[in-house]
Amino acid sequence: MTAALPLVLTVFVACAVEAIEALTIVLAAGLTRQWRSTFQGMAAALVVLAVIVGVLGPTITLLPLTALRLVVGALLAIFGLQWLRKAILRAAGYKALHDEASAYLREVAAAKAAPEVAKRGVSDWYAFTLTFKGVLLEGLEVVFIVITFGDNQHNLGAAVVGAALAVVVVTVTGIVVRAPLAKVPENALKFLVGIMLTSFGTFWGAEGAGVKWPGNDAALLVLVPVVALVSLGYAVWLRRVHRLSQAAARPPTAFSETEEVTS
Amino acid sequence: MLRALKSFGAFWYDFVIGDDWQVAAIAVAALALTALLVHVAGVNAWWLLPLAAFAALGWSLRRATSGKS
């Protein structure tokens, strides 16, 4: 067992990184969208993952992970930029803090037609799909790590132990931090989620395009703060511009909470 | 039937593209350019996508607040 300790620790750390990335997506979707659909997305991803592992076995390492990273990364980056855009406009006062007037919701309210969604038992496809993609991609990476490390060291059991420990530790951490995170103001949380999605999306998307990040996964430790700083900079700048334009437009007219400069 | 299709289309447009289609277009173009730089020119362009994302976000915010979105 002592001889296997380095392998267990290595797999633990590698898998913990992947599990934290999946946890970020799960918390983002659950806290800002809906927990039920988030858990459904997570469960569906785990089932698909189990089926893939069961059917493919060790040949799973032949899956085009790079292409998967490219697609998932591109979508997450686009989602993240959308979230950031809205959160910045709200923080700067250009958009109402509680805005439920997205094109989709307007369509649904007008047409009252979402039978496919209701029939499948998923009420929030956004949360479901976001979680599904994140958990499936990270789950696949965990499986890759276990097979690669376990096979190279001829000790698949120790690699599985390391991965299982990582997933359990990260899951427990997620349950613990869930309650405190729920008390954070809604727009601040959406701002944070936008930063995380943009950072992870940029990271995975670029990796999928063939980029080698300086420092590999550690690049995220730089990328996340940089995205946060740039976004905060935009919010501060726009708030100043908004105040100046309001001051210039005297006599003052009260800014309606529901007013929105653009859609 | 038409309503359901319209609703379905609106959901996917809102889901994938969002409020500003130009942001999505810039992100996809930047990814394509990154892939070209890496695989054709041999440049490890890790910096391109973050820069494109910041530029797209700033441009989108500027258009949104000046009413030209």
Q: What is the pLDDT of residues A47-87, one digit of tens each?
A: 998 888 888 776 766 767 788 788 878 888 888 898 899 89
**Helix A220-248 with B48-65: angle, nearest 10 deg:** 20
B2 occurs within a structural domain: no
Q: Which residues span the domain enclosing B49?
A: 18-65
Determine the residue of chain B that is closest to A94 in CA distance: B65
B45 occurs within a structural domain: yes
Residues from chain B that touch A210, judged by Cβ atoms under 8 A, are 34-35, 38-39
- pLDDT confidence of A141, banded at 50, 70, 90? confident
Determine, for residues B15 and A126 on separate chains, whether the beta-carbon distance falls below 8 Å: yes
Residue B42: is it exposed, middle or buried by C-beta count within 10 angstroms (0-12/13-18/19+)?
exposed
- CA torsion B11-B13-B18-B23 (nearest 10°) is 170
B8 occurs within a structural domain: no
Q: Assess whether pLDDT exceeds 60 at residue A256.
A: no
For residues A173-178, average pLDDT = 82
The count of CB pairs under 8 A between chains A and B is: 141
For residues A228-242, average pLDDT = 93
- pLDDT confidence of A25, banded at 50, 70, 90? confident
Chain B interface residues facing chain A, Cβ-Cβ under 8 Å? 3-4, 6-8, 10-11, 13-20, 23-24, 27-28, 31-32, 34-35, 38-39, 44-46, 48-50, 53-54, 56-58, 60-61, 63-65, 67, 69
What does residue A230 show for φ and ψ, rounded to 5 degrees?
-60, -45
B4 occurs within a structural domain: no
Task: Pick the closest to residue A87 from A243, A238, A248 (CA basis).
Answer: A238
Task: Pick the closest to residue A127 from A207, A195, A197 (CA basis).
Answer: A197
In the block, tokens 């996340």 appear at: A224
What 3-state DSSP class applies to A164? helix
Task: List, in order, residues 6 or more apart from B21 with CB less than 8 Å away.
Answer: none
Q: Are A260 and A97 in contact (CB under 8 A)?
A: no
Q: What's residue A29's pLDDT?
A: 82
Q: Are B56 and B27 in contact (CB under 8 A)?
A: yes
**Domains: count for chain B:** 1
**Alpha carbons A151 and A170: distance in angstroms, whole number:** 24
- Nearest CA to CA, how far is B54 from chain A (Å)? 7
- Nearest CA to CA, how far is A143 from chain B (Å)? 26
B9 occurs within a structural domain: no
Average pLDDT taken over every residue of chain A: 78
- Measured at the CA of A110, the angle between CA B23 and CA B15, to 5 degrees, comes to 25
B51 occurs within a structural domain: yes
Q: What's residue A182's pLDDT?
A: 65
**Share of residues in chain B with pLDDT > 90 (%):** 62
Which pairs with CB-CB distance under 8 Å and at least 24 residues apart come from A176-179?
Answer: A177/A27, A178/A27, A178/A30, A178/A31
Residues from chain A that touch B20, judged by Cβ atoms under 8 A, are 82, 85
**Alpha carbons A64 and A208: distance in angstroms, whole number:** 10
CB atoms near residue A239 (< 10 Å): 15
